[in-house]
Chains A and B, each alone.
Chain A
Amino acid sequence: MTINVQVPSMDPMPLPGPVWLMTGLLLLVFTLHVLAMNAALGGGMWTLWNYVRGKKPEHPNSRRLAEELAKMLPIFLAYTITLGVAALLFVQVLYGRFLYSSSILIGGYWIMVIPLVMLAYYGYYYVSYTAVRGKSRTGLVAALSVLCLLAIGFIFSNNMTLMLRPEVWLKMYRAHPNGFNLNLHDWELWPRYLHMMIGAVAVASALLAHLGMLKLKKDPEYGAWLVRRAAAVFAITTGIQFLDGLWLLLAVPRDVAMVFLRDPVAGTVFGLALMAVIAAVMLMVLGSMAEQPNSLVYAGVAMVVVTVFLMTGMRHLLRQAYLAPYLDPGAVVVKPQTSAIVIFFVLFVGGLATVAVMLWKLAKYRKMQGAAGAGEMTI
């Protein structure tokens, strides 16, 4: 690595909180963001496929699934965005000097994320309204929304890989100072992008297996159908993900990738993540193949969530390894704004409690009415 590369200097203002705290929050909200994104994107693909398939009368389950899923898509996207904002906050404060630089280099595309999200979002709303009635354009709109989200993912992957590569910045800037650059020459870009997108399908499938389990009691046939399909797709995509993961590891420069061998913490996270994936696949397959899908599926889903969290951790360690030549932890000045931090946590707990109260009221009313699925959750 050449250290002889100019990167923006640290902000003269001290960090307003301990690095460990802000890193922890970043990892937490980013994991949640990824889960929501997976549900929104992978869920969108599931909806699209089943919507098209469900048009034929011989696939009533697909039709039903598409209708049910369509109603959830806007909500998944709402939380993808909300949680993404939180991640953006903390990544800026911790890695702003890298992130702003790479964002500006691809600024022309980066800014397109906003109209693309808007399109995808309103598209999802359209789908959620029309999936049941089956408007002729519903499938097309769903496809467009999914395409928008795929494009957004690609722009994000570009930015997240480019921010780790200060050595190419100046040349890139001089090539197109108007921000119409992409990080296409970086070998890591492709496997990394695929990793996020295939992962989205896999995780969404795991969440659908969960949904299927919930349906099992009231509607065994449909529930079992869903669990088995979702588990199968999960297993297949995870298999592909495995290969892609290998490609990704090979694409990372060797001295950076070595962190997983040299650093005991990184090695442990890596090992745990591998075990978690294998456990997730096994639990999911075993649980869904049984005569009647059983609670092993739930354990599988839980392992998937654990995996995503560990993968987020690996991503973080890789980022640290990439940026190591430019980071100087000793030079970081921290001046915690303790009162603000305390207020944040108090309000955070209060906010969660408020949300819990609202959900509790919904559940209570539903029980009182005893009406199954009365009034769907759609705007």
Chain B
Amino acid sequence: MNYPDWILGFPGGMLIALIAIVHVTVSHFAIGGGAFLVVTEKRAYGKNDTAALAYVRRHSKFFALLTVVFGAVTGVGIWFTIGLVTPEATSALIHSFVWAWAIEWVFFFVEITSAIIYATSWDRLDRKSHMLVGWIYFVAAWMSLAVINGIITFMLTPGKWLQTHNIWDGLFNPTYWPSLFARTALCVLLAGVFGLVTIGKKDGEARERLVRWSGMWMLAGSILLPAFIYWYFLKLPKFSKTYISERMIYVTHALNSGYACAALIGAVTLVFALWKPRWMRVPVVVLLVVASLGLMGSGEYVREFSRKPWVVNGYMYANDIALAEVPVLQQDGVAAKANFLLTTDTKSMEYGENLFTLECGSCHAVDGYRSMRQRVKGWDAAFATQMVAHLPMTKGPMPEFAGNEADREALGKYLASLNPPVDYGTITDANRVAVGAQVFAVHCGNCHTVNGNFRPLRDAFTNSTPDQVEGLLPMLDTMSTNMPHFDAPADQAQALAVYISTEANKSLPNPPASNQPGPPPGVK
């Protein structure tokens, strides 16, 4: 709560994601492509292949223009945006890893210099020295990945660092190696994909040979990648694994699109690059580049999502509030601690809205992206105030709310104001179960299903009559401090009870395993 909160109207993370996806794609190409250039050059000399030599010269210019300009500037763009969107986290990272970044910078400096020299010195260096420059480029580029990979993986799996705060513990963390290998495989894959971009249109035996050559790189990347990704998944923290394996439909979608893109790339490689290189025309190359962006995009999405609700696992939440700050804020309240509030009048609606942007806005927009309005339908102020205290128990991987009673009330009031109050109408025997389902969605559905696989209530209520269920409702918050107090007009309570009892007692072909979600997202 130190810094002003850049209020964009949509989560700032989207801005980071946008820049990151293109940057990551280009920068992986920048590494694999470096090796691709020199190896291709060497082969061309060895076989006295003038067509290949002309190609690799052309490719080196495209390569330099894309990586030295676009790659480098978007990299700076990530710096700019993370400082704007999560200054607290950026500060923590820079305090822990400034020397790692300084080391990376040395490689970056060598990388830029050698890239420029390589692309411009085809006629100004003997072959051996020219290839030496190319190798220098590749080694520097890969080393900068090796450093930055430590910082990126650190954020998800800080490992021993949480106790020691030692830079090497942070860098060489549990996912360091699998991630480094997976990224290296990606570099190889992308070297092949982008290798096709400059292949030219002129048909002929030489072109086919070059397409096949690019295809070999794509094939090698596609074979290595799944194995390393699997290894990486094995090392993920438990809570991340649950997102991937079951809970979060978005992650499932992202994973599936990732697999689809990878499969597409693999298939195109086999058919258009290796089997019938003549068919590798511009539209196919475009498709490959788009599929690569898709692959990188879904990979980055899954990687980022698996870290929720953290930006640095076990140290700082995604809304830029340090874990250590949470108790302080819960004690003293946000108004007493935050430096840049739009208002400090804790009774005002504006304050509630401000709390929303501060604590929820990094992952939710009011409308649109992960819409808040949609997610608090039916919440009245009292219920919302309670729910705010229980967010980590819902399906969403969310941080604890960092604020005191007054803050919860202010935020609750604001959340309730997003939708008109629900009107269930008169409840009759005919619509009772249907209304009950709606009441369930509002009051229980964020944390339970009846027969589904998220904290199902079936076991608790099989053989319960509606009256028994209804009798239990007012005691929920005494049963578990993780539940809000249930407070609704009697007819709604009755409808809810009928609904639960009906659902819990209907026969199912395969009843849910009594599957309780693990503990709320934590370090392990």
Contacts from A to B (Cβ < 8 Å): 6-9, 11-17, 22, 25, 74-75, 78-79, 81-82, 84-86, 88-90, 92-93, 96-97, 99-101, 103-105, 107, 110-111, 113-114, 117-118, 121-122, 125, 169-170, 173-174, 177-179, 337, 339-341, 343-344, 347-348, 350-351, 354-355, 358, 361-362, 365-366, 374-379
Which of B7, B73, B112 sits near A118, CB closer than 8 Å?
Answer: B73
Q: In the assembled complex, which residues on chain A have CB atoms less than 8 Å from the CB atom of B61? A: 379
CB of B38 to closest CB in A, whole Å: 14
Given known contacts A104-B3, A344-B106, A81 and B76 CB-to-CB distance under 8 angstroms = yes
CB of B129 to closest CB in A, whole Å: 4
**CB-based contact B106/A82 at 8 Å:** no
**CB-based contact B108/A179 at 8 Å:** no
Given known contacts A11-B92, A118-B70, A340-B99, A86 and B340 CB-to-CB distance under 8 angstroms = no
**CB-based contact B112/A78 at 8 Å:** yes
Q: Residue B227 at the A interface, CB < 8 A?
A: no
Docked pose: A169 CA to B123 CA in angstroms: 55
**CB-based contact A358/B113 at 8 Å:** yes
Given known contacts A8-B2, A374-B123, A89 and B101 CB-to-CB distance under 8 angstroms = yes
**CB-based contact B98/A379 at 8 Å:** no
Q: In the assembled complex, which residues on chain B have CB atoms less than 8 Å from the CB atom of A350? A: 106
What string of 1s and 0s marks CB contacts (under 8 Å) between B38-55 and chain A? 000000000000000000
Docked pose: A337 CA to B97 CA in angstroms: 9
CB of B134 to closest CB in A, whole Å: 11
List 9 A-B residue pairs with CB atoms under 8 Å apart, sorted by A's residue number.
A78-B72, A92-B83, A92-B91, A100-B84, A103-B84, A104-B4, A117-B73, A343-B99, A351-B109
- Specify the chain B residue showing the minimal Cβ separation from A79: B112
CB of A358 to closest CB in B, whole Å: 5
Given known contacts A13-B96, A177-B5, A355-B110, A111 and B84 CB-to-CB distance under 8 angstroms = yes
Q: In the assembled complex, which residues on chain B have CB atoms less than 8 Å from the CB atom of A114? A: 19, 73-74, 76-77, 80
**CB-based contact B124/A81 at 8 Å:** no
**CB-based contact A13/B165 at 8 Å:** yes
Q: Which 9 A-B pairs have the closest CB atoms?
A: A8-B2, A340-B99, A100-B87, A13-B95, A375-B123, A114-B77, A6-B339, A177-B7, A351-B106
**CB-based contact A340/B100 at 8 Å:** yes
Docked pose: A224 CA to B3 CA in angstroms: 55
What string of 1s and 0s marks CB contacts (under 8 Å) between B58-78 and chain A? 000100110011101111110
Q: Residue B94 at the A interface, CB < 8 A?
A: yes
New contact pairs (10) apart from A104-B3, A341-B99, CB-CB < 8 Å: A13-B165, A16-B95, A17-B98, A82-B109, A86-B105, A103-B80, A173-B4, A344-B106, A348-B106, A358-B114
Q: In the assembled complex, which residues on chain A have CB atoms less than 8 Å from the CB atom of B100? A: 340
What string of 1s and 0s marks CB contacts (under 8 Å) between B154-178 and chain A? 0000000000010110000000000
**CB-based contact B125/A177 at 8 Å:** no
What string of 1s and 0s marks CB contacts (under 8 Å) between B121-158 and chain A? 11111100100110010001000000000000000000
Docked pose: A95 CA to B396 CA in angstroms: 36
**CB-based contact B98/A11 at 8 Å:** no
CB of B320 to closest CB in A, whole Å: 11
Q: Residue B382 at the A interface, CB < 8 A?
A: no
Q: In the assembled complex, which residues on chain B have CB atoms less than 8 Å from the CB atom of A377? A: 116, 120
Q: In the assembled complex, which residues on chain A have CB atoms less than 8 Å from the CB atom of B120? A: 375-379
**CB-based contact B124/A366 at 8 Å:** yes
**CB-based contact A8/B339 at 8 Å:** yes
Docked pose: A341 CA to B70 CA in angstroms: 30
Which of B19, B124, B324, B342 sits near A177, CB closer than 8 Å?
Answer: B342
Q: In the assembled complex, which residues on chain A have CB atoms less than 8 Å from the CB atom of B3? A: 8, 100-101, 104
- Specify the chain A residue showing the minimal Cβ separation from B133: A358
Q: Residue B6 at the A interface, CB < 8 A?
A: yes
Docked pose: A85 CA to B126 CA in angstroms: 33
Q: In the assembled complex, which residues on chain A have CB atoms less than 8 Å from the CB atom of B322? A: 12
Docked pose: A97 CA to B4 CA in angstroms: 11
CB of A364 to closest CB in B, whole Å: 8
Docked pose: A99 CA to B94 CA in angstroms: 13
**CB-based contact A11/B339 at 8 Å:** no
B residues 323-355 near A (Cβ < 8 Å) are 324, 339-340, 342
Docked pose: A376 CA to B122 CA in angstroms: 11
Q: Residue B81 at the A interface, CB < 8 A?
A: yes
**CB-based contact B108/A85 at 8 Å:** yes
Which of A93, A110, A169, A375 sits near B340, CB closer than 8 Å?
Answer: A169
Contacts from B to A (Cβ < 8 Å): 2-9, 15, 19, 61, 64-65, 68-70, 72-77, 79-81, 83-84, 87, 90-92, 94-103, 105-110, 112-114, 116-117, 119-126, 129, 132-133, 136, 140, 165, 167-168, 322, 324, 339-340, 342
Q: In the assembled complex, which residues on chain A have CB atoms less than 8 Å from the CB atom of B121? A: 362, 375
Docked pose: A99 CA to B79 CA in angstroms: 13
CB of A297 to closest CB in B, whole Å: 28
Docked pose: A107 CA to B92 CA in angstroms: 20
Docked pose: A105 CA to B105 CA in angstroms: 28
Which of B79, B95, B107 sits near A85, CB closer than 8 Å?
Answer: B79
Q: In the assembled complex, which residues on chain A have CB atoms less than 8 Å from the CB atom of B116? A: 75, 78, 377, 379
Q: In the assembled complex, which residues on chain A have CB atoms less than 8 Å from the CB atom of B73? A: 81, 114, 117-118, 121
- Among B15, B83, B167, which residue has the most Cβ atoms of chain A within 10 A? B83
Docked pose: A82 CA to B109 CA in angstroms: 7
**CB-based contact B65/A125 at 8 Å:** yes
CB of B464 to closest CB in A, whole Å: 50
Docked pose: A13 CA to B81 CA in angstroms: 22
CB of A249 to closest CB in B, whole Å: 31
**CB-based contact B98/A90 at 8 Å:** yes
Docked pose: A337 CA to B95 CA in angstroms: 11
Given known contacts A81-B73, A104-B3, A379-B120, A174 and B102 CB-to-CB distance under 8 angstroms = no
Docked pose: A78 CA to B113 CA in angstroms: 9
Q: In the assembled complex, which residues on chain A have CB atoms less than 8 Å from the CB atom of B77? A: 111, 114
**CB-based contact B83/A100 at 8 Å:** yes
Which of B6, B102, B110, B122 sits near A89, CB closer than 8 Å?
Answer: B102
**CB-based contact A344/B112 at 8 Å:** no
CB of B27 to closest CB in A, whole Å: 14
Given known contacts A104-B4, A107-B84, A111-B81, A121 and B94 CB-to-CB distance under 8 angstroms = no
Q: In the assembled complex, which residues on chain A have CB atoms less than 8 Å from the CB atom of B5? A: 104, 177
Given known contacts A8-B339, A169-B4, A358 and B117 CB-to-CB distance under 8 angstroms = yes
Docked pose: A170 CA to B344 CA in angstroms: 12
Given known contacts A13-B95, A100-B87, A361-B132, A7 and B339 CB-to-CB distance under 8 angstroms = yes
- Among B65, B94, B121, B129, which residue has the most Cβ atoms of chain A within 10 A? B94
Given known contacts A118-B70, A344-B103, A375-B123, A101 and B98 CB-to-CB distance under 8 angstroms = no
Q: In the assembled complex, which residues on chain A have CB atoms less than 8 Å from the CB atom of B8? A: 178-179
Given known contacts A81-B72, A89-B102, A351 and B107 CB-to-CB distance under 8 angstroms = yes
Q: In the assembled complex, which residues on chain A have CB atoms less than 8 Å from the CB atom of B136? A: 354, 358
Q: In the assembled complex, which residues on chain B have CB atoms less than 8 Å from the CB atom of A75? A: 116
Docked pose: A13 CA to B109 CA in angstroms: 28
Q: In the assembled complex, which residues on chain A have CB atoms less than 8 Å from the CB atom of B94? A: 89, 92-93, 96
Q: In the assembled complex, which residues on chain B have CB atoms less than 8 Å from the CB atom of A365? A: 124-126, 129
**CB-based contact A105/B4 at 8 Å:** yes
- Specify the chain A residue showing the minimal Cβ separation from B60: A379
Docked pose: A90 CA to B95 CA in angstroms: 10
